[in-house]
Chain A
């Protein structure tokens, strides 16, 4: 008997939620520390948007599995998180932060466009909610990456360095879904090869225009979303600290 969409979709939804949560949390570290006031405001907005997207995915996940978003966010150890390693890396400098956000925004944009066609309606509905917000993100980070890539010699070299570091991590976005690449996923989530093709069609010409050289190094994506860098645990420790002090508290 084929698995119901709920069964195959739940782990994918959790992975999408974790990506947005961890990236949103990392981004929030810039609040009060961004290079200029306008950017402090803008990037705090983007961080909050990603948390909002995470919440939509966690809410859907909770209807599929009966696990509350708060339990998932505040009481899971690093090993149970299913985010890609790209989003957990320390925030680095401004070029690193902007480039990571750009690569992820481009991914979220093409994934969202594909998810609109999902035969599993809740996925299409969330994608339709998220997409217009992502268009604001994409415009913003695209502007920054272009500016940094074509700016001064220093901004260029920092951005190129960020790209060299981030590029192999970005490849994990197209690693297998946590549910595996089952035929039962056809029509429910976009095919990863197709997704990657769309993402590259958007990202490669843009990065070249921004004066950046695409690294040739390709990461083997053998390690799945259950494997994390040493950076995730400290992030979670900080994020979960208050909730863990009093697990029964309500707010």
Chain B
């Protein structure tokens, strides 16, 4: 088994996906904040996305299992709240993957999520901005429901946070 280093842990965690958005890893999401390795002891810091998200516990367990599979004898997964998780951290590459998955990516807001409330969510299928918000709450805490007037298709948006 390869030596346990911070780099190998970060790389392995790329395989842990957000269960509600299985195309994006917990690393890309910015949920994993820090990894420290001390011999065969590994400590991972993670941060909650939406605070009531039921997937958080699943992700915490999957992160711990993933690190144990690397050969760590002791794994602690600690929750940190600061800095608060924001969709602004999602890279362009991650946003492209969300779109390919059928989710309109969140608008950037630099700290005040309210400024995104009046921005049109582009349709992930036809790219039209002629869309209308149907419900700012959706099937999961992180999604809103829109309708595209151009291609007449309902779609979901990954909400800005």
Contacts and interface: CB of A to CB of B under 8 A. Distances in A.
B51 A135 contact: no
What interface size band does chain B fall in? 20 to 34
Given A41-B135, A41-B138, A139-B136, A125 B50 contact: no
B84 A46 contact: no
B55 to A, nearest CB: 12
Given A128-B84, A129-B84, A135-B113, A140 B53 contact: no
Given A132-B161, A135-B114, A45 B51 contact: no
A13 interface: no
A56 B51 contact: yes
B30 to A, nearest CB: 14
B51 A133 contact: yes
26 contacts: A38-B134, A41-B137, A41-B138, A41-B139, A42-B135, A42-B136, A42-B137, A43-B137, A45-B138, A52-B48, A53-B51, A55-B51, A59-B79, A121-B82, A126-B81, A128-B84, A129-B48, A129-B81, A129-B84, A129-B85, A132-B86, A132-B161, A135-B114, A135-B117, A136-B137, A140-B137
Interface string A127-147: 011101101100110000000
Overall SS of chain A's interface: helix
Interface of B, secondary structure class, is: loop
Interface in B106-148: 113-114, 117, 134-139, 141, 145
Given A42-B137, A135-B114, A140-B136, A125 B51 contact: no
A49 interface: yes
Contacts of A133: 50-51, 161
Interface string B40-67: 0000000010111110000000000000
Contacts of B95: none
Given A46-B137, A56-B81, A133-B51, 10 more contacts: A38-B135, A52-B141, A122-B81, A125-B81, A125-B84, A128-B82, A129-B84, A132-B113, A133-B161, A135-B114
A132 B135 CA distance: 17
Interface in B55-93: 79, 81-86
A37 to B, nearest CB: 9
A105 interface: no
A120 B135 CA distance: 37
Contacts of B83: 128
Nearest to B114: A135
Contacts of A53: 51-52
B136 A51 contact: no
B16 to A, nearest CB: 21
Given A125-B82, A129-B84, A52 B137 contact: no
A48 interface: yes
A117 to B, nearest CB: 14
